[in-house]
Amino acid sequence: MIKIGLTGGIGTGKSTVAKGFEKLGIPVYYADDKAKAIMQQNPEVKRQITNLLGPQAYQDNRLNVSYISGIVFENPNMLKKLEAIVHPAVREDFLEWTRQQHAPYVIVENAILHKSGMDKLVDCILVVTADLEKRLERLKKRDKKSKEQLLNIIKQQDNEAELLKKSDFVIENNDNEVDLYKKISKIDSKVKNMLKKG
């Protein structure tokens, strides 16, 4: 079974691409959603986070996202320590999830594929790109932030040129959904051909 890492900057439309693959019957592991679920439900991870950030990290047994964000965004060292707890748990969960799938290939959608170490677990990498204006247009609809704030977030993320160097497949997501779906189908066919050739 081939494992594909799906990544790209904020606003490029990674989730839309992932959903396109799901329509083709390909299982997708959404790393960000899984990370939140693990932080919320995994007893060992909860214990380590509580030890690191204090009992306020959980409020009424729920992950206290605003409290945790307030600490880690002001303290890069604390963010690294939190990532050292969460990333290995997510990687382990992904491998366990993969073992339960019966599709020809699977996809892990992850904005921080390389930073989280998940790039080491996949066989190839698909990067989603989009023009800056298109990204800003999408983000304005989704987030209530100013153009300056959004540009700042984009700047802080993975360098797109670096991502492209490490990619095996690229989808430019500037078109309508029909054209995007054609691009997804093309990659699906390529991957299935790779599998046939062994």
The C-alpha atoms of residue 134 and residue 154 are separated, in whole angstroms, by: 12
The pLDDT value given to residue 40:
95
- Read off the pLDDT of each residue in 170-178 and give the average, rounded to a whole number: 91
Cα Rg, the chain, nearest whole Å: 18
Model confidence band, residue 158 (pLDDT cutoffs 50, 70, 90): low
- Bridge-based pairing of strands 62-63 and 58-59 is antiparallel
How many CB atoms are closer than 10 A to CB 130? 22
Model confidence band, residue 152 (pLDDT cutoffs 50, 70, 90): confident
Each residue of 104-123: pLDDT tens digit?
Answer: 999 999 999 999 999 999 99
The C-alpha atoms of residue 44 and residue 50 are separated, in whole angstroms, by: 10
- Read off the pLDDT of each residue in 126-143 and give the average, rounded to a whole number: 88
Which is more confidently placed, 153 or 40? 40
- The residues facing 105 across adjacent strands are 2
pLDDT above 90 for 24: yes
CB 118 within 8 A of CB 106: no
How many CB atoms are closer than 10 A to CB 77? 8
The C-alpha atoms of residue 132 and residue 61 are separated, in whole angstroms, by: 40
- Bridge-based pairing of strands 105-109 and 62-63 is unpaired
